[in-house]
Chain A
């Protein structure tokens, strides 16, 4: 039985993998089909599924180190036929790999736990999103030193956001209550 939610998450994993390996690697027909799937509102719900994205990254990293590994993401874009089994197969293969988390994963988890949803969305999430965006670009250019630096810098750049959200925001609320 096809499991669409898993298929969607697999698609997102494919997206991550494609971005890391060959940003221009998909032929236009595949890319169009892929984008149609991704633009489906149902698929959009899966965009935040970090775990599979991260696992896909681990698989891609392994593939980068093994020239003889099969080109899995191109094959699995054949979605219209036997999509359930293909998705399951892909997930099985992804889950057989270790978990490597995308940059900022733990930071996002901690920030979402400590900050209000609004503060997280305003001050922390954009910094992590930029970090991941630049990280992917650096990895695509095989500039791993730059990717590492972007990760370190990204974690430091959220500090002003934490200060604003935790200290300044609290102080403003307190002063507001005191009528100052």
Chain B
């Protein structure tokens, strides 16, 4: 089982997902990240976060376009708690 801790970039993804309660597509996350996330690694990262239970992907029934359905990613309750914990820890470190 992998580490339960998230890297800075993973925390950034979690923040973006927390700010979008309806969920985000991978391409939307890349756009919203302002260059922090790359096309080549976004799904690897999302896959790792999904393995940890921090995000959940789903596919909409009516995809609105032809081709394969694109997964939409949402933060889970566990992901929100992990993000909150990370933010609290960062605040604590800055205050020391």
A and B associate: yes
Write out the residue numbers on chain B whose beta carbons fall within 8 Å of the beta carbon of A12: 66
The interface stretch among B13-21, B43-51, B80-88 is B43-51
Interface residue SS majority, chain B: loop
Question: B interface vs A, CB < 8 Å?
Answer: 1-2, 25-27, 39-41, 43-44, 46-48, 50, 57, 61-63, 65-71
Beyond A102-B67, A125-B68, A126-B26, whether A38 also contacts B62 by CB under 8 A is yes
- Do the beta carbons of B67 and A133 come within 8 Å of each other? yes
A83 CB to closest chain B CB (Å) equals 21
The interface stretch among A61-69, A92-100, A159-167 is A159-167
Complex CA gap A35/B28 in Å reads 25
Most chain A beta-carbon contacts within 10 A, residue among B50, B65, B67: B67
Of A39, A108, A156, A164, the residue contacting B47 (CB under 8 A) is A164
Beyond A47-B63, A126-B26, A161-B43, whether A132 also contacts B68 by CB under 8 A is yes
- Do the beta carbons of B40 and A130 come within 8 Å of each other? no
26 contacts between A and B (CB under 8 A): A19-B65, A20-B66, A44-B61, A47-B69, A53-B66, A102-B67, A104-B68, A122-B47, A122-B57, A123-B43, A123-B47, A126-B46, A129-B68, A130-B26, A132-B66, A132-B67, A133-B27, A134-B27, A136-B65, A153-B39, A156-B40, A159-B40, A160-B40, A160-B43, A160-B44, A164-B44
Complex CA gap A132/B25 in Å reads 14
- Do the beta carbons of A35 and B62 come within 8 Å of each other? yes
- For chain A, the bracket of interface size reads 35 or more
Of B1, B47, B50, B70, the residue contacting A133 (CB under 8 A) is B70
- B42 closest partner in A (C-beta): A126
Of A39, A153, A157, the residue contacting B61 (CB under 8 A) is A39
Write out the residue numbers on chain B whose beta carbons fall within 8 Å of the beta carbon of A156: 40
- A156 closest partner in B (C-beta): B40
A63 CB to closest chain B CB (Å) equals 16
Nearest 8 A/B pairs, CB to CB: A132-B67, A122-B47, A16-B66, A129-B68, A129-B70, A19-B66, A164-B44, A126-B43
